[in-house]
Structure 1
């Protein structure tokens, strides 16, 4: 199924980006860099992967149910993101640049690999 393939590709891409970012930012900024990468990967990769997982879970339901669940999940993720960012904004345990770059890279890479997983999957068409 294309959605499962997309989710698998996205998860693998997130793991690769996370490990590479941990190596780079851990070497450059130490422990704050590592924490920035962990938070950034959770936010950036989690945001995209949860949406794909919600679509996969509701794929057997009606389109309106799928859209309601995806929209509700998106709104919940935005609220949680705002809360998390408000809580950690004045904390100094993480490097903000490491977090920002990891969020951007994770979102772009995970979304790109999910799209690649869907468009390159072989699906039987019956007309």
Structure 2
């Protein structure tokens, strides 16, 4: 039994290899914005102005942490694997250092609510990862190379 692939009509462009990551970043940013708004409103109701600041800082730290990875993958998609891996490892190290510096600087300050900060950081990790997963799974990408291979056996 043979299956002859049909060419893709010109009206249907083939998505590029970064379509899934572009969708992940788009949905991640939208999820983070929604969480920042809802988190700031809820934290403002329960903890006042300090809660709003804590929620917004938490959204920036947690959401930025996850989105930097997706942006790094998107920006290095066309690079050789070794270079992309080195860049991603470097951005991971930079993210860790920045997160520790931000949290260290904030540790002695009292203009924000620490509970709101921690809760929104945790929620932003879950929401942004979930939104990115939704974006990747919702993207239609081809699983095979559309050009036929030259070493196909006709004996099958």
State if a TM-score over 0.5 links the two structures: yes
Unaligned 5+ segments in structure 2 are 1-18, 146-156
Task: Answer yes or no: is 1:71 the counterpart of 2:89.
Answer: yes
Tell me the alpha carbon deviations over residues 21-48 of structure 1, each in whole angstroms, 9 at most, x when there is no partner.
Answer: 0110011111110110111001000000
Q: Which has the higher contact order (CA 8 A, sep 6+)?
A: 1
CA RMSD of aligned residues (A): 0.9
In the alignment, what sits opposite 1:25?
43
> So what's the TM-score if we normalise by structure 1?
0.96
Moved over 6 A (4+): none
1:24-43 paired onto structure 2 within 5 Å: 24-43=42-61
- 5+ residue gaps, structure 1: none
Match of residue 27, structure 2, among 1, 4, 9: 9
What TM-score results when the alignment is normalised by the length of structure 2?
A: 0.79
Q: Which has the higher helix share?
A: 1
TM superposition shift of 1:81: 1.0
Deviation at 1:126, TM superposition (A): 2.5
Task: Specify which of 57, 62, 68 is matched with residue 44 of structure 1.
Answer: 62
